[in-house]
């Protein structure tokens, strides 16, 4: 089937089009800026859309609902050492595989990485275990695990399993990220961004989530009462794929290099957010320019950008700017800045940071993290309604950072516990608003779970005893 996706639509509003067609209709080739025709490929397992996008300059694969719109290999990029855990397949090799109907193998190629074995490093350094053999064996082990994962219904495998798989101690990736993504709905940096993100107005056009990771913002945007379409873009296919499958199934995701240009048509988005990732973009000026092209005169939130003058550097190889340099980059006449540690407090107090006078540049000297908003006047003055918390959107579950220590007849006793030292360092401020030792009355808990809009639910979510998560985020017996 060859289907031309070149309709002129207003964002996602296209009469007679499927959700997938509407999504494809706002994409463009990052090289030639042309539209696409789409040729579907029948999958050898019952999953998402597979096929090939063709423009006037080339072809790109769509694998399990995720278009790959870049020319670099589809690898596993580490959040720890800023390098490739595994280089991955070439894009044109994936196109060839899809033409041959090898959809499952193409998916596994995009997700596989060489799992490490005990003592592998020592044996390799001693020249007792050749690198080529260990990589081949590690890839085979990972592919076997992936086959088991994709062979299970989504409900049998949950997002927590996916995080543990890709961030295990033998993955070559940073193990802290399993904790980071599991706790993300409740950590300070997410709340700081939410003080602003909740003020995106409802729109038929999607909000663009740049360096989306596993799509936590996209879950919120598509599931809040004022639901808004969302498109997430990330350099890591495995994250975009995991986001679509387990975290934000109502959003759409693209694997691409946002720092090389956005694969979206001009004026296709209602706003943008880039949280905790702007420092990793090499050509920051190009990204800012591209965001203005796809969302002209609309709000763009650049959350938690690092101050170069305050240690430690993040990322360690550089990429941060000084506060005044950021402000010049975003445009002083149409942007404003916020102190990040003040934003999560604004969120908890339900106050609008837009109503406050900005701090002076001089007072930012020792602030490590800041957030900037371009066109802040386009954000809504109205955030969430009373008794509605952004971190309570979704299925209510026990906050993953808590463990039940005692199950009493009338109450659950809980203890706050970080899983890693790095988690305790990065997210220590969680202890300011989460009980170190807590007690959840079972009567209140039953009322909250029976009616997520009740006062009981609002109270427990406000205490961070419960949080809202996607349907298939944690095991069903997590309470």
Average pLDDT over residues 223-245: 97
> What is the predicted pLDDT for the residue at 12?
53
pLDDT above 70 (res 432): yes
Range in 3-7, 25-29, 441-445 the model is least confident about = 3-7
Range in 22-36, 231-245, 306-320 the model is least confident about = 306-320
The Cα 457–Cα 397 span in angstroms is 11
Average pLDDT over residues 282-303: 97
The Cα 287–Cα 256 span in angstroms is 13
Q: Which residues pair with 347 in a beta bridge?
A: none
Average pLDDT over residues 325-349: 97
pLDDT above 90 (res 325): yes
> What is the predicted pLDDT for the residue at 4?
38
Average pLDDT over residues 391-413: 97
Asked whether the whole model's pTM tops 0.75, one would answer yes
Average pLDDT over residues 48-66: 97
Q: Virtual CA dihedral for 26, 30, 31, 33, nearest 10 degrees?
A: 20
> What is the predicted pLDDT for the residue at 174?
83
CA distances from 122 to 86, 115, 212 (A): 20, 15, 36
Residue 309 burial (CB < 10 Å; 0-12/13-18/19+)? Answer: middle
The Cα 185–Cα 166 span in angstroms is 19
> Which residues, 6 or more positions from 412, have their beta carbon under 8 angstroms from its beta carbon?
404, 406, 439, 440, 442, 445
pLDDT above 80 (res 447): yes
Torsion sign (Cα): 336, 341, 344, 346: negative
The Cα 442–Cα 410 span in angstroms is 5
> What is the predicted pLDDT for the residue at 87?
85
Range in 1-10, 380-389, 396-405 the model is least confident about = 1-10
Q: 396-410: buried (b, 16+ CB within 10 Å) or exposed (e) per residue?
A: bbbbbbbeeeeeeee
pLDDT above 70 (res 88): yes
Closest CA to 444 of 476, 477, 466: 466
Instruction: Name the DSSP letter for residue 470.
Output: -
Which is more confident, 397 or 9?
A: 397
Residues of the chain with CATH 3.40.50.150: 182-378
Q: H/E element holding 301?
A: strand 300-306
> What is the predicted pLDDT for the residue at 8?
32
> What is the predicted pLDDT for the residue at 43?
84
pLDDT above 90 (res 404): yes
Average pLDDT over residues 75-84: 71
The Cα 42–Cα 1 span in angstroms is 9
The Cα 127–Cα 134 span in angstroms is 12
Three-class DSSP category at 336: strand
Mean pLDDT of the chain: 91
CATH number for region 182-378: 3.40.50.150
> What is the predicted pLDDT for the residue at 118?
64
> What is the predicted pLDDT for the residue at 318?
83
> Which residues, 6 or more positions from 251, have their beta carbon under 8 angstroms from its beta carbon?
206, 209, 215, 218, 219, 221, 222, 229, 230, 231, 232, 243, 244
Query: Kindly report the CA angle at 455 between 451 and 456, in degrees rounded to 5?
Result: 70
Range in 40-49, 79-88, 100-109, 429-438 the model is least confident about = 79-88
Q: Which residues pair with 336 in a beta bridge?
A: 373
* % helix, strand, coil for the chain, step of 5: 35, 20, 45
């Amino acid at each position: 089937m060859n289907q031309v996706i070149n309709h002129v639509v207003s964002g996602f509003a296209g009469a007679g089009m499927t959700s997938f067609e509407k999504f494809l209709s706002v994409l463009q080739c990052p090289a030639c800026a042309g539209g696409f025709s789409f040729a579907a490929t029948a999958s050898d397992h019952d999953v998402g859309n597979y096929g090939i996008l063709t423009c006037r300059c080339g072809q790109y694969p769509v694998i399990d609902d995720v278009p790959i719109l870049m020319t670099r290999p589809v690898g596993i990029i580490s959040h720890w050492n800023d390098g490739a855990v595994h280089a991955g397949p070439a894009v044109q090799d994936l196109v060839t595989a899809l033409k041959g109907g090898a959809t499952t193998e193409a998916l596994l190629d995009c997700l596989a990485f060489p799992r490490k074995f005990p003592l592998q490093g020592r044996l390799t350094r001693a020249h007792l275990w050749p690198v080529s053999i260990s990589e081949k064996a590690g890839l085979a082990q990972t592919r076997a695990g992936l086959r088991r994962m994709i062979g299970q219904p989504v409900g049998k495998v949950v997002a927590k399993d996916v995080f543990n798989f890709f961030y295990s101690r033998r993955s070559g990736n940073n193990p802290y990220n399993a904790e980071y993504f599991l706790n993300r709905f409740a950590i300070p940096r997410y709340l700081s961004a939410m003080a602003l993100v909740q003020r995106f107005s409802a729109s038929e056009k999607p909000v663009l989530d740049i360096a989306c990771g596993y799509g936590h913002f996209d879950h919120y945007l598509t599931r809040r009462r004022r639901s808004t379409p969302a498109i997430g873009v990330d350099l890591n296919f495995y994250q975009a794929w995991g986001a679509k499958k387990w975290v934000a199934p109502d959003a759409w995701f693209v694997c691409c290099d946002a720092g090389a240009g956005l694969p979206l048509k001009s004026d296709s988005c209602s706003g943008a957010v880039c949280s905790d990732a702007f420092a990793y973009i090499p050509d920051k000026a190009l990204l800012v320019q591209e965001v203005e092209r796809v969302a002209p005169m609309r709000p763009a939130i650049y959350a938690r950008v690092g101050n170069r003058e305050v240690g430690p550097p993040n990322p360690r190889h550089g990429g941060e700017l000084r506060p005044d340099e950021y402000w010049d980059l975003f445009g002083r006449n149409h942007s404003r800045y916020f102190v990040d540690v003040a934003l999560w407090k604004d969120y908890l107090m339900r106050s609008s940071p837009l109503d406050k006078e900005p701090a002076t540049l001089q007072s930012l000297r020792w602030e490590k993290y800041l957030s900037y908003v371009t066109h802040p006047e386009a954000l809504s003055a109205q955030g969430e309604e009373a008794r509605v918390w952004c971190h309570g959107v979704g299925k209510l579950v026990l906050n993953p950072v808590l463990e039940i220590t005692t199950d009493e007849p009338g109450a659950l006793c809980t203890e706050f516990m970080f899983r890693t030292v790095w988690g305790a360092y990065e997210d220590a401020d969680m202890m300011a608003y989460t009980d170190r030792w807590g007690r959840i009355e079972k009567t209140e808990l039953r009322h909250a779970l029976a009616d997520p809009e009740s006062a009981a639910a609002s109270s427990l979510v406000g205490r961070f005893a419960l949080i809202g998560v996607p349907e298939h985020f944690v095991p069903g017996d997590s309470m």
